[in-house]
Amino acid sequence: MIQDASLVTGNLSVSQFLDELNLELSGMAARVQGEVSNVDARERVVYFTLKDKKDESTLNCLIFRNQYEISGVHIAVGDEIIVEGVPEIYKPNGRLSLKVGVIELFGEGALKKAYDALKLKLELEGLFAMERKRILPELPERIALITSEQGAAIGDFTMNLGAQGFHVHFCPTSVEGKRAVLEIISAIRFFNRRFKQYDVLVITRGGGSLESLQAFNNEALAREVAKSKIPTLLGVGHEKDVTLASLVADVMVSTPTATAKTLRYHWDEARQFVEHFRHQLPARFREQFFGVKNELALDGEVLLSHLRTFRELIVTLRQDISGKLVFTQSIVRHQFTGLNEEQKNLRQKFIAMQEKASQKLFHCEERLKQYDPKRVLKLGYGLIRKGEKIIKDVSETAIGDILGIQLSRGKLQARVEKIIP
Amino acid sequence: MPKQNLSESLKKVQEIINWFDNQEEVDVEKGLEKIKEGAALIKISRARLKEVENEFEVVKKELEKE
């Protein structure tokens, strides 16, 4: 209904007017330089006033706390700063304020002062301590890369990386100016959400003035680098301007070229190592093998010499034995000869004895023959028996006895007719 | 063949070299085994160390989606 009324009357309500003004003002973003004259830092918003140095004109400004933190500039009364923002009228009180997005310190001197202060603060927190530094994987393969798509840095980096088969995930960001800090932080967060996929996080850009490297001296960015779960390699700026982000990184070098060379260094070394040992390893083995061969040959010699000694010993022994054998044989043979002689003697003796015995026997026989009754009978004597009994006395007979008379040849029977005593 | 970790392969080659360096009692059979293993590792490592183009993938779009 109100709108309808305004259409009819052509009059705007206050709110309508302010809305229209704000619409117009939103297209009037500006970069304003001035001196801080008042600061009121609340929980969610920081209010401050900018004063014109020449005519004391003032401008109300506000910045949301998170943007203030990211800006990395802690303003104080008297600081000369540059702010970027959009003007807006706060409807409840009709005040015009500049809604600031980015605050920058003005002038190299101020920047240097801020840099030194922040450096000291981070150092005291131990963020630069060597114990915090992680060692980069020796042979990184999966690289998370943050740098600008434009400029020489990306070209220098890729040209010097060499063909190692790296998997590079490249997140292009601004590396200078007001958007750089936010973009780099969100890129670091993006890669860290999948930190297991990467071996190393590389952030690089070419050198420049302290002002152009400002993003890398930003506190929020430096803290984000320090928090990274992926080991970090920072190649930002030249040696004279070491940025705070570089100081908190695990490894820092000064140029994109040096960054690439750091990544490939161990790959080149590994290549040399492998080529070296491709030849060296068989050589080591040959060395060992020939060592053993020589040793074996030597052992063989020793064994052979032992064998020779042994053989000689056997020959000597054999000669010795056969000598002894011959000697023994001769003894036996000698003994045998002796034995034969003995046998012969024995036989002769036996024969002699036999002869002697037979002579004796013959003699006895002769003697016996003399006693033989038959011989007497042959001489004419006779044997007289009475029955079986030989009669040697006449008394053994009586007249009338029948006596048997044996003669040399045949027997007689006779009767006793007369006895002559 | 399972994907061999290059660092591990190189470490093993180094160990084999150390083994050869520290041999006091010579064991040719073991040496032969080691040299075979070493040769295989070197072959794998050489294959991995052959010049291979880097893969580049721009991930900005994915980041913006998140």
- The answer on pLDDT for A103 being more than 80 is yes
**C-alpha span between A281 and B27 (Å, rounded):** 15
Question: How many angstroms separate the CA of residue A277 from the nearest CA in chain B?
Answer: 8
Please give the residue of chain A at the shortest CA–CA distance from B31.
Answer: A285
For chain A, the first-to-last Cα distance in angstroms comes to 230
Helix, strand or coil, per DSSP, at residue B59 = coil
Angle, in degrees to the nearest 10, between helices A108-124 and A219-227:
30
What is d(CA A197, CA A264) in angstroms, rounded to the nearest whole number? 19
Average pLDDT, chain A: 89
Distance, in angstroms, between A234 CA and closest chain B CA? 19
Residues of A in contact with B60 (CB under 8 A): 171-172
What pLDDT sits at residue A239? 61
- Answer whether residue A5 shows pLDDT above 70: no
Output the pLDDT for position A3.
54
| One-letter-per-residue 3-state SS of chain A | CHHHHHHHHCCCCHHHHHHHHHHHHHCCCEEEEEEEEEEEECCCEEEEEEECCCCCCEEEEEEEHHHHHHHCCCCCCCCEEEEEEEEEEECCCCEEEEEEEEEEECCHHHHHHHHHHHHHHHHHCCCCCHHHCCCCCCCCCEEEEEECCCCHHHHHHHHHHCCECCEEEEEECCCCCCCHHHHHHHHHHHHHHCHHHCCEEEEEECCCCCCCCHHHHCHHHHHHHHHCCCCEEEEECCCCCCCHHHHHCCEEECCHHHHHHHHHHHHHHHHHHHHHHHHHHHHHHHHHHHHHHHHHHHHHHHHHHHHHHHHHHHHHHHHHHHHHHHHHHHHHHHHHHHHHHHHHHHHHHHHHHHHHHHHHHHHHHHHHHHHCHHHHHHCCCCEEEECCEECCCHHHCCCCCEEEEECCCCEEEEECCCCCC
Q: Domain A2-106 class?
A: mainly beta
Provide, as residue numbers in chain B, all residues whose Cβ is less than 8 Å from the Cβ of A291: 26
Tell me the pLDDT tens digit for each residue of A269-328. 998 988 888 888 888 888 878 888 888 889 889 999 999 999 999 999 999 999 999 999
The one-character DSSP state at B1 is -
The residue-averaged pLDDT of A120-147 equals: 94
The identity of residue A316, as a single letter, is: T
Question: Residue B51: helix, strand or coil by DSSP?
Answer: coil
Question: Among A89-98, A106-115, B32-41, where is mean pLDDT lowest?
Answer: A106-115
User: pLDDT tens-digit profile of B8-63?
Assistant: 888 888 888 888 888 777 777 888 888 888 888 888 888 888 888 888 888 877 77
pLDDT of residue B2: 43
Chain A residues with CB-CB distance to B45 below 8 A: 270, 274
Selecting from A158, A168, A190 the residue whose C-beta is nearest the C-beta of B66 gives: A190
Distances (CA, A) of A26 to A47, A50, A64, A95: 19, 20, 17, 15
- Per-residue pLDDT tens for A25-45? 999 999 999 999 989 999 999
When pLDDT is cut at 50, 70 and 90, the band that residue B1 belongs to is very low
Tell me what pLDDT residue A132 has: 93
Mean pLDDT of A263-272: 91
- What token pair was written down for A242? 């070491």
Query: Which DSSP letter does residue B58 get?
Result: E
What is the three-class DSSP state of B2?
Answer: coil
Is residue A374 pLDDT above 90, yes or no? no
Q: How confident is the model at residue A1 (pLDDT cuts 50, 70, 90)?
A: very low
ipTM (interface predicted TM): 0.79
CB atoms within 10 A of CB A70: 20
Average pLDDT (A119-144) is 93
pLDDT in tens, A235-254: 997 666 689 999 999 999 98
**pLDDT of the residue at A105:** 83
Q: Is the pLDDT of residue A133 over 90?
A: yes
Phi, psi of A166 (to 5 degrees): -65, 145
Q: What is the pLDDT of residue A15?
A: 93
Confidence (pLDDT) at A162? 87
- Domain range list for chain A: 2-106, 137-267, 376-415
Query: In the predicted model, is pLDDT for residue B3 greater than 80?
Result: no
**Could you say which of 3.90.79.10, 3.40.640.10, 3.40.50.2300, 3.30.365.10 is the CATH number of the domain covering A137-267?**
3.40.50.2300
pLDDT for B4: 61
Angstroms from A325 CA to nearest CA on chain B:
52
Which of chain A's residues have a Cβ under 8 Å away from the Cβ of B28?
A: 288-289, 292
Pairing of the two strands A402-406 and A411-415 = antiparallel
Strand-strand pairing, A232-236 and A389-390: unpaired
Structure tokens at A143: 């690289």
Q: Quick check: helix, strand or coil at residue B55? A: strand
Percent of chain A with pLDDT over 90: 57
pLDDT tens for A138-195 read 899 999 999 999 888 999 999 999 888 899 999 999 998 778 999 999 999 999 999 9
Chain centroid to Cα A29, Å, comes to 66
| Domains A2-106 and A137-267 equal at CATH topology level | no
Q: What is the mean pLDDT of residues A201-210?
A: 87
Give the integer Cα–Cα distance in Å for A36 and A31: 15
Top pLDDT among A19 and A111 is at A19
Name A80's bridge partners. A35
Q: Which has more pLDDT, A53 or A20?
A: A20
Closest in B39, B46, B56 to A170, CB measured? B56
Across the interface, whether the CB atoms of B53 and A267 are under 8 A apart is answered: no
Distance from the A170 Cα atom to the nearest Cα atom in chain B, whole angstroms: 5
Share above pLDDT 70 across residues of chain A, in percent, rounded to a whole number: 97
